[in-house]
Structure 1
Amino acid sequence: MPRCRRLSHYLATLALICLPLLVSRVEACMVCIPYPEETGTDRLLHADAVVFARENPEQPFSYSAVEVLKDDVEAPPIDLFLPSTTRKRLALRPEDSVALAFDAANNEWRSAGYATPAYQELVRKIVMRAPAWNRSARAESRARFFVPYLASEDESVHKLAYLEVGQSSYDTIREADSVVPAAQVHRFLNDLKYIEWHALYILLLGVDAQPEEERIIRQAMESRARLGLKLNLSAWATALIEIDGAEAVEWLERHYLGVADRESDAVVEVVKALSVQGARNRSSLRQRIADSYALLIQTHPSLAGWAARDLASWNDWRFADALAEVRDGEQDLDGAAAFSINYYIRRAQSRASN
């Protein structure tokens, strides 16, 4: 038990340090999933050496560098195996190569993607921007750089752009609507091979949606509510709010937030959508979304931590009493939720006493 108490104290302290940072972030990463913790861009930015390589003519199924883009260290020979499918592809396309990145800390070479001429051009630009981007981490300017590449028909370029833009703010994602043709959005959403990657394009479908696209979004949400489907639910809910505004918030209250027996996992996905829309710059719906959290706190008290986090970020201190009831009641809260609620209540009380 002492060990558990020490761990709980550590987690609470960590949450106290991180919460002010977390509540101030305006990101769509809760909606645009899945993506790896490290993108191909991260790999290129942090690499100590970057090269384009093709098959070594003297040693089949191995690599030989044909162009060096970065050589901060004296890297060892490339010891990666060249897969037969990639080897055949390179043999048919002499202008293509493979981008390889060397990590000196782990003393290993890793692939950074199959490189068509279009991808090679993008990699060169990324390496050139590495000093600035490494200083500013995942800044919005970095995401905006990739927005035009979402329209690329090159699979490697498109994938890299998706992973970068998908981790940006929803405001930045909305900007991509003017870049990505509607036909491409519909084509991607009709490809079930990428169904787990549909989230970003569902969001784009909602921006400046045409009547037929609005119908698709409403039907998608109705079927999910009826059948209890959760895949890409947060993205569809975000798109619904985009097209129907306050009416969508009311609909989500009736079908999710106010339904006591609705699975918490599904309600969380809807809360993510409300959070993303409420966090937008100059959001006209923030007040309405904050009001909907009163129903969430009452009907799904185990999820009250989500509401507390957003409300603190939005400087809305009206719900201290409701959250105090959850905190002091019999509801079993996890450490993160309990700390978010306590943080909110302390801030609200501090504001009230000033």
Structure 2
Amino acid sequence: MRHAEQVTFGGSALDRAGEIRNDPAALRAARDDPDARAILFWRGKPLISPARPARLVRLEMDHPVLADAAEETILLGRENGAARFAFDLSQWQPENVDEAALGGFLDPSEQRHPALGDDMVFAELRRVMTWLDPRDAELAATGRAMFGWHRAHGFCAACGSRSDMVQAGWQRACTVCKASHFPRTDPVVIMLITHGNSVLMGRSPGWPQGMYSLLAGFVEPGETLEAAVRREVFEEAGVQVGEVRYLSSQPWPFPASLMFGCAGEALSREITIDPVEIEDALWVSREDMMEIFAGNHDTILPARKGAIAHFLLENWLADRLD
């Protein structure tokens, strides 16, 4: 697919500086570089300047706010030869935090640190991902996914002892049994399943009223992407799928997935949903989907902008899947 890397979180060609992650001297030099910058996160929320065009904030490495950050940092990569390090401020406790909103489907709350200007806020990445340019989006997604992985994997899976962050944040090492642990990315297939002029859409329980998207599911061990597409569509909607082809991928740091966008041709139109998996599924014609994307449909909302489902549907409507 020629437009594959135009998907949100893709296509910025970030230099990840992998060759210096295990080089203490090179890391020290990278941190001491006057052009190095800190990128901040609070409970997975990146620090941004939300005024349009929004941008991911990059602070100097000696900024006073970093006194509230955890000691361990993550090397995200380099921009124009200068390092970018992710700092976690989750131990800072803002006033009047709405805990119920945090981590919700679309958290609208913003947090402002007193050591930063009023034009800087910590904001939920799912809400602001389309505000950022590709480089900012990739840096934000990488930092969010990595801090999430460290929070969930603080103990050795082999012996249960606490592990330490090493290799500039890209590995955890157990000091007891010496096991090494690396960041996880879970493969997920998301499927543009068509039959004639229609596409198969579904919704999960708990989604906002009117929200539908493409069917999706995790790839199982020992399974190809094509097999996963056929299995997931049949399990969720009872629809048999024939030919399957890969289209595009998207890192999805909520918490740590890699979405594989695929196109598949349905062999039948009859739908039998699994109510444990999804709440509803239906076929939507190309004409109706155009009305949905225009915001003119009575009952169905367009797929969320920034998500690969929206990207695939948009390219399907424009006949740009080749």
Q: Which has the higher helix share?
A: 1
TM over 0.5: no
Radius of gyration: which is bigger? 1
TM-score normalised according to structure 2 size: 0.28
Q: Which has the higher strand share?
A: 2
Larger RCO: Structure 1 or Structure 2 (Cα < 8 Å, ≥ 6 residues apart)?
A: 2
TM-score normalised according to structure 1 size: 0.26
